[in-house]
Amino acid sequence: MGCAVGLMAYNEEANVAAALRSILAQEGPHVRLHSVTVVASGCTDRTVPRAREAAGGDPRVRVLEQARREGKAAAITAFLATVRDADLVALVGADTRLPEGTLEALLSPFDDPEVGMTGGRPVPVNARSTLLGRVVHLLWELHHEIASGDPKLGELVAFRPVFEAVPADTAVDEAAIEALVRGRGLRLAYAPQAVVQMKGPTTVPDFLAQRRRIHAGHLRLRKASGHTVSTLGLPGVMRALVRHRPSPATAAAAVALEGTARLLGSVDARVAGREHRVWKAIPSTKDLTP
């Protein structure tokens, strides 16, 4: 099955070339790249020329420039409008890297016609030498544990193009796609071997801003569509935390930070009505060196 890949970028001049090269280097019996589209959303830096340079004339690569940044959901919808004759669509962030074999692992579950969407396993590159670094690793290890039992897909996803647009006001695009795919009667599949390298926040304000936006988005999505992501419920998260048995300091910091972010996100969604559709870039997540 042919796959069209969308590489989503906003001011990613430092990362877009490496991200694009990591996609083009993917191989495997299921990896048949139909096209790779770099969606540059209102970029004011050198994202576009660096993407074109990294493409090296590869005819599969094209750059779609949006004059204004209107949110990632709008960028995905613009990308979907360009997809022609592809059986599958994958979304990759320009601030991530795909190790060898990632796309093969992400796409192989679609051999089952009931699978409508897959998601990879995000693995942070943050150093574990700091408390916040250990909190970020713990967060994604808990995500992996929960998603292994009840798929929660994010950072790297693929899906059958059974819809034409993502709700424009969502701040949690992958979760919104989960709702759309399930609404078509298709199944979600977590692909833990599809590792995607990413960078978690390295400062407390950045951590709170990112997690606040995500929690508010999940609450708004549940209200709008009835879809609840598997990581939203605190009891399930706490059970996974107990099973994981992190150090007391790491556990306490994670609970305090995530609890604060969820409280702020709840206020945004339920009281202030903030949608976070166009969010500020999180600076400390853009350097993929540990």
Give the pLDDT mean for 27-34.
Answer: 93
Least Cα distance to 64 among 40, 44, 34 occurs for 40
Residue range 227-283, pLDDT digits in tens: 999 999 888 888 899 898 999 999 999 999 999 999 999 999 988 778 787 768 888
Does a structural domain hold residue 171?
Answer: yes
Q: How many residues does the chain have?
A: 290
Q: Would you say residue 288 lies in a domain?
A: no
Domain membership of residue 221 (yes or no) is yes
Q: For residue 287, is it within any domain?
A: no
The boundaries of the domain holding residue 224 are 2-280
Q: Is residue 286 part of a domain?
A: no
Task: Give pLDDT tens digits for 189-213.
Answer: 999 999 999 999 999 999 999 999 9
Q: How far is CA 91 from CA 140, 149, 233, in A?
A: 19, 23, 26
Contact 156, 90 (CB under 8 A): yes
Per-residue pLDDT, 284: 83
Quick one: pLDDT band at residue 289, thresholds 50, 70, 90?
low
Q: For position 274, what pLDDT does the model report?
A: 80
* Within a domain: 10: yes
Contacts of 109 (CB under 8 A, 6+ apart): 115, 118, 189, 191
Is the pLDDT at 91 greater than 70? The verdict is yes
Greater confidence (89 vs 1) lies with 89
208, 218 in Cβ contact below 8 A?
no
Asked if residues 103 and 139 have their Cβ atoms less than 8 Å apart, the reply is no
Mean pLDDT (whole number) for 169-186: 95
Q: What is the CATH number of the domain that holds 265?
A: 3.90.550.10
Distances, alpha carbon 112 to alpha carbons 27, 59, 103, 191, in Å: 20, 30, 16, 13
Quick check: is 289 in a domain? Answer: no
List Cβ neighbours of 56 (8 Å cut-off, separation of 6 or more).
Answer: none
Q: How confident is the model at residue 165 (pLDDT cuts 50, 70, 90)?
A: very high
Give the helix ranges, DSSP H, for the chain: 16-24, 47-55, 72-80, 102-107, 131-149, 173-183, 204-225, 234-244, 248-267
The whole-angstrom distance between residue 137's C-alpha and the CA centroid of its chain comes to 16
Range 20-32 average pLDDT: 95
pLDDT per position as a tens digit, 108-161: 999 999 999 999 999 999 999 999 999 999 999 999 999 999 999 999 999 999
> φ, ψ for residue 126 (rounded to 5)?
-55, 145
Do the domain assignments include residue 285? no
Q: How far is residue 147's CA from residue 222's CA, in Å, rounded to a whole number? A: 18
What's the domain count of the chain? 1
Mean pLDDT of the chain: 94
Closest CA to 116 of 91, 92, 88: 88
Distance CA 132, CA 254 (A): 8
pLDDT given for residue 273 in this prediction: 78
In terms of phi and psi (left: phi > 0; alpha: psi -120 to 50; beta: otherwise), the region of 175 is: alpha
Report yes or no: 97 and 18 within 8 Å, Cβ to Cβ.
yes
Percent of the chain with pLDDT over 70: 99
